[in-house]
Amino acid sequence: MKNTIIAIFVSLTVLAGCTGSGKAKEMGPSETVEAFCSALISGEYEEAFSFCDSLQMQSYIDNIRAAFNEAARRDSSAAAIAASILKEAQVEIGEISKEQDKRMVNYTIIINEDLKKEKIASMKKEEGEWKIEAITDRV
């Protein structure tokens, strides 16, 4: 069971994992990233996609959903434990850089002292709201 929990952590933290709350008008890039991650961790996949603007991000969310569903299918108690621990995850927003009309939001997902993942969200403003186009690992 411990290996299953670790596998779930790795899968979900590689793909997502942060905290924040709800969607609100006129959120900046960092608030949008936080809200997206919060929705993803809560299993609110449609809400998470509402912060996105690409088929690539739909695929990203679908992969997270599939990984979690597969882990839950194999060991539902491990999936429940992993989900409760992930709800304690934190996100630290780092530098936000500007590239033409886009913003690149650097952030770090922190599960605990030993489990951290650095990410970059590429974003653009669409109809007055910041939308995530892609999320990549920060090297």
Could you report the per-residue pLDDT of 8-29, keeping only the tens digit for each? 555 554 444 343 344 445 899 9
pLDDT in tens, 109-125: 888 888 899 999 999 99
pTM recorded for the entire structure: 0.76
Q: Is the pLDDT of residue 75 over 90?
A: no
CA 116, 43, 94 angle in degrees (round to 5)? 35
Multiple choice CATH, 2-137, 3.60.20.10, 3.10.450.50, 1.10.1040.10, 3.10.20.30: 3.10.450.50
Is residue 46 classed exposed, middle or buried when 0-12, 13-18 and 19+ CB atoms within 10 A define those classes? exposed
Would you state the pLDDT for residue 22? 42
Average of per-residue pLDDT across 52-69 = 90
DSSP 3-state assignment of 75?
coil
